[in-house]
Amino acid sequence: MAYATVADLCRWFGFKEISELGGQDDVALIDTELFREVVDGYSSGAWTADQVEAANQALQRIETALADASRLADGYLAARYTLPLTEDVIAASALPRIVGDLVHAMLFSDQDVKIVTSRQDKALRWLESVSRGQVRLGADAPAQPPMGAPVVTSAPRVFGR
């Protein structure tokens, strides 16, 4: 389960930047309006089949990065929380934006941009803090009991007051 969506990334970083990052280096830039249509799931019909295919490939590349970044986050979260997290916990936390920063950095590939690497470093430090219990997700997510800790269960109450 991805903790952020392509629409989230476009809202945070802009359609232009995400469409450029999602495109292949050897393919012409994807028109921002075309990319917006592809993300929103409709087509005005004003584009060639090759342009639409390039936009769909960019969308797939971004969705793959979202899935990869979410799995990376799960690796950290599993040390502290029972997965999968509920939608309420995800929505109440900084997790979607943290995953968005990781995806943004992943898509930048070989470009040497300090702000992107800074965001990635901050995102990874935040995830490490969550896994050590120094930072909570912000909602009542069920915590994972420590490995080897005894787990106490009992039958339902028989008598009441």
In a domain, 157, yes or no: no
**Cα 146 to chain centroid, rounded:** 26
pLDDT tens readout for residues 53-82:
999 999 999 999 999 999 999 988 988 889
- Cα 25 to Cα 32: distance, rounded to the nearest angstrom: 16
In a domain, 158, yes or no: no
Residue 32 class from Cβ within 10 Å (0-12 exposed, 13-18 middle, 19+ buried)? Answer: middle
In a domain, 122, yes or no: yes
In a domain, 156, yes or no: no
Q: What is the pTM of this model?
A: 0.73
pLDDT tens readout for residues 100-146:
999 998 888 655 577 777 888 888 898 998 888 888 776 555 556 55
pLDDT tens readout for residues 8-41:
999 999 999 999 999 876 667 899 999 999 999 9
The structural domain count of the chain equals 1
Q: By residue range, what is the domain housing residue 38? A: 6-132
In a domain, 153, yes or no: no
